Structure 1
Amino acid sequence: MLNSLAYLGFHDIKAIERMTFHEYLLRFEAYQLAQIKRNEELAYQAWLNQQVQATTGSTKHPRPKFRTFKQFFDTDKQIATVRKIFESSEVSENRQVSQEKIFVQRMQEFKRLKKQGKIIPWQKRTQAEKGGF
């Protein structure tokens, strides 16, 4: 939720809650790709600046430290890294499966504890047990 508010331009909590997990991942991937593009622009400006200043070799025979912009900032490599993370269906499926397993385990434990009488329904709790609610 915090990422949606901070980075994805959301201002409405209800809009965030309506968003599916898949939509969130897609939006966050797009945000990261936009950041790469912004970083590329900044890096290109820095590259142009360093082209004027940065050299290697002797003072009599200076050579530019980076001969091409791609040596300085490889945009394709940056994009491939982000896409690899988000497009790996195995990662998404494993995350979803593990979340489902955790939920099922917690529900089973909840039902077991409720059956044993260790969980008191909210309506039957005293004011002190409710913690002031």
Structure 2
Amino acid sequence: MKAYRLARVDKEYDMHLQAWLNHAVTATKEQGNKHVPVYKSFKDFFDYEKRLKEVEKPKRSIITPHQRKMAKLAAMVNKERG
């Protein structure tokens, strides 16, 4: 039941995100005496090709000194345990 309830929360999140995006896409800004759309085209709102490139190109993660120290400790513990 817990998994079902968590899945429902995810669905609710998706619905609320969709509602927010529906609101954002209809946003206007004042330009002189008239209101004009903030996004003139769908690509202004969501650049599909740019997003694909971001996902396909893995980013180098920046490892902090603390994370490096913890990784060394974990490796030492694993080595001792066999």
Q: Pick the TM interval, shorter chain.
A: 0.3 to 0.5
Instruction: Give the structure with the higher percent strand.
Output: 2
TM-score normalised per structure 2: 0.38
TM-score normalised per structure 1: 0.27
